[in-house]
Amino acid sequence: MRVGCPKEIKNHEYRVGLTPGSVREYVAHGHEVLVETGAGAGIGADDNAYRAAGATIAKTAADVFAKSDMIVKVKEPQPNEWAQLREGQILYTYLHLAPDPEQTKGLLASGVTAIAYETVTDDRGGLPLLAPMSEVAGRLSIQAGATALQKANGGRGVLLGGVPGVLPGKVTVLGGGVVGLHAARMAAGLGADVTIIDRSIPRLRQLDDLFAGRVHTRYSTVEALEEECFSADIVVGAVLIPGAAAPKLVSREMLSGMKKGSVLVDVAIDQGGCFETSHATTHAEPTYEVDGVIHYCVANMPGAVPVTSAHALNNATLHYGLQLADKGLKALVDDHHLRNGLNVHKGKITNRAVAEALGYELVEPKAVLAA
Ligand X SMILES: NC(=O)C1=CN([C@@H]2O[C@H](COP(=O)(O)OP(=O)(O)OC[C@H]3O[C@@H](n4cnc5c(N)ncnc54)[C@H](O)[C@@H]3O)[C@@H](O)[C@H]2O)C=CC1
Task: Report the half-sphere exposure of 55 (CA within 13 A, side-chain side).
Answer: 34
Instruction: Determine, following the binding rule CB under 6 A, whether residue 98 of this chain makes contact with ligand X.
Output: no
Instruction: Determine, following the binding rule CB under 6 A, whether residue 50 of this chain makes contact with ligand CC(=O)C(=O)O.
Output: no
The answer to whether 173 touches 193, Cβ cutoff 8 Å, is no
Residue nearest to ligand CC(=O)C(=O)O (CB): 133
Nearest residue (CB) to ligand X, 154 versus 247: 247
Active site (annotated) includes residue 193: no
Neighbours of 319 (CB within 10 A): 12
Helix (H) or strand (E) holding 348: strand 348-349
Instruction: Determine, following the binding rule CB under 6 A, whether residue 241 of this chain makes contact with ligand X.
Output: yes
DSSP string, 67-122: H-SEEE-SSPPPHHHHTT--TT-EEEE----TT-HHHHHHHHHHT-EEEEGGG---
In angstroms, what is the minimal distance from the CB of 96 to Mg ion?
Answer: 6
Of 200, 231, 282, 323, which lies in the binding site for ligand X, with binding defined by CB under 6 A? 200
140: left (phi over 0), alpha (psi -120 to 50) or beta: alpha
Residue 194 to residue 217: CA distance in whole angstroms: 9
CA distances from 358 to 113, 127, 244, 295 (A): 18, 22, 9, 26
Residue set of the binding site for substrate: 15, 75
Of 15, 185, 270, 320, which lies in the binding site for Mg ion, with binding defined by CB under 5 A? 270
In this structure, which amino acid lies at residue 363? V
Instruction: Determine, following the binding rule CB under 5 A, whether residue 135 of this chain makes contact with Mg ion.
Output: no
The answer to whether 296 touches 109, Cβ cutoff 8 Å, is no
Binding segment for Mg ion (CB under 5 A), chosen from 198-206, 222-230, 252-260, 270-278, is: 270-278
Of 104, 217, 300, 340, which lies in the binding site for ligand CC(=O)C(=O)O, with binding defined by CB under 6 A? 300
Instruction: Determine, following the binding rule CB under 6 A, whether residue 176 of this chain makes contact with ligand CC(=O)C(=O)O.
Output: no
Of 133, 204, 239, 265, which lies in the binding site for ligand CC(=O)C(=O)O, with binding defined by CB under 6 A? 133
Instruction: Determine, following the binding rule CB under 6 A, whether residue 240 of this chain makes contact with ligand X.
Output: yes
The answer to whether 15 touches 303, Cβ cutoff 8 Å, is yes
Nearest residue (CB) to ligand X, 49 versus 288: 288
Active site (annotated) includes residue 216: no
Nearest residue (CB) to ligand CC(=O)C(=O)O, 31 versus 295: 295
Per-residue contact string for residues 267-306; x = within reach of ligand X by CB under 6 A: xxxxx---------------------------xxxx----
Residue 130 to residue 317: CA distance in whole angstroms: 9
Neighbours of 167 (CB within 10 A): 9
Helical H runs in the chain? 20-28, 47-53, 61-67, 79-82, 101-110, 131-148, 178-189, 201-211, 222-230, 252-255, 306-327, 330-334, 336-339, 352-358, 365-370
Instruction: Determine, following the binding rule CB under 6 A, whether residue 270 of this chain makes contact with ligand CC(=O)C(=O)O.
Output: yes
Active site residues: 96, 270
Residues interacting with ligand X, by CB under 6 A?
118, 127, 130, 133-134, 137, 174-180, 197-200, 203, 220, 238-241, 246-247, 249, 267-271, 299-302
Residues interacting with ligand CC(=O)C(=O)O, by CB under 6 A?
75, 94, 96, 130, 133, 270, 300, 302
